[in-house]
Structure 1
């Protein structure tokens, strides 16, 4: 029991500590370089393309999601509850995607 606890604790520590150390090691390089300004200028250049492609993604998500779910239903036996949950999931995905885009665009203003 203790071995399992120690092993899982070590795994969790490695999964949290190593990315933090890597971020702290890389952050000064990003701050002192022109990389961030180049990325910012690139993103402002391609922002209309970004918004257009995301609009197509959202439209396809709304229109094609039921067809995809029905196709999966034909391949696998799922209950009506699972079917209803899968059909409702598209609205959650759409909400998450739009929220992330609003955060990204709002952060640039």
Structure 2
């Protein structure tokens, strides 16, 4: 039995998840994409930016299962979870300095 062009293209589709979260809302969307798709392409195809106001997929940092990846260069594998990261609001170094200063005040 020979494959039709539609069947052949269906074989090249993989399922991945695209995740984004704010303190108020979290969303994971399963999406079928072409094998070899980038995280940015998967995020765009998922439509997740319509669920959250102000998400700029082109500027967002992304990762796969908690590891930062280049959203344009990385190639997704079946079952990957693309995570779209929000920008940091506070510099982590400043938070640590403030926490250390507060601890010094308490102890001394």
- Structure having the larger proportion of residues in helix: 1
Per the shorter chain, which TM-score range? Answer: under 0.3
Higher relative contact order (CA 8 A, sep 6+): 2
TM-score scaled by length of structure 1: 0.23
- Structure having the larger proportion of residues in strand: 2
